[in-house]
Amino acid sequence: LALSVMAGDLALYTGPTNAGWISDASCKREANDIIKGVAKSFSTITDFGDKKEADLGAWAKSHTGDKKIDVIVTVSGTMPGSLYPFPNKEPDGSVVEKFVDDGNVLINIADWIGYMSYEGGVRSADNGADGAANIFDIPGLSFGSRNNVMKVNDKGKKYLPSLKDFTDDRPWHVEQFKGTDWDVTTFAEADANNADPAVAVNKKTGGIIAAMIQKAWPDP
């Protein structure tokens, strides 16, 4: 992603995490690395920590329709209810779906995108697979474990030079995006239909959803 040309704002959500996938300490470290790495690429950067879920929802609403490309990174791999109320209470038109449909960017790290929340330190009722399916608006979409040994491809070597081959847990099921509004670019693959990381761009709205290293890895 050419973040330097976006000139919008960045929000990070750092938990509470599903600690078996990424620990709270690692999540905060990753967030700090992101902030340092892109400090000059955004007008403002806000880390909503692990106790400001409602504020993040308000931020997303205020950055929908502002005519800028804004970015949310769920560093924790969890999806707070202020973005997508669990369990699947807003399957269509959630705050995060409207944010992406406005041409903005959502990036997820670690656990299955949109699966659940640990806000308040307690696991929510799961959205399950329907969380991601509803956000992408692709019925039946899944990131379930299949062929998981990811080999970095040519795009990965070019654009993500630090990426190494790894064993995944929640690969993108690339064939499920065929015939939809989404174009998917992969950076490491187990085969043509199983990939991670990957970026999907909506051909109609310009919205972008990326998910990377969706792996149970407490200390990446």
Predicted TM-score (pTM) above 0.75 = yes
Identify which has the larger pLDDT, 52 or 188: 188
3-state SS assignment for residue 196: coil
CA 28 distance to own-chain centroid: 16
Q: Say if CB 174 and CB 193 are below 8 A apart.
A: yes
Mean pLDDT confidence for 206-213? 98
- 40-97 tens-digit pLDDT: 999 999 999 877 888 999 999 999 999 999 999 999 999 999 999 999 999 999 999 9
∠ Cα 133 185 178 (to 5°):
50
- 144-157 tens-digit pLDDT: 999 999 999 999 99
**Structure tokens, 54:** 């409602």
pLDDT of residue 1 exceeding 80, the answer is no
Q: Say if CB 199 and CB 210 are below 8 A apart.
A: yes
Q: Say if CB 212 and CB 200 are below 8 A apart.
A: no
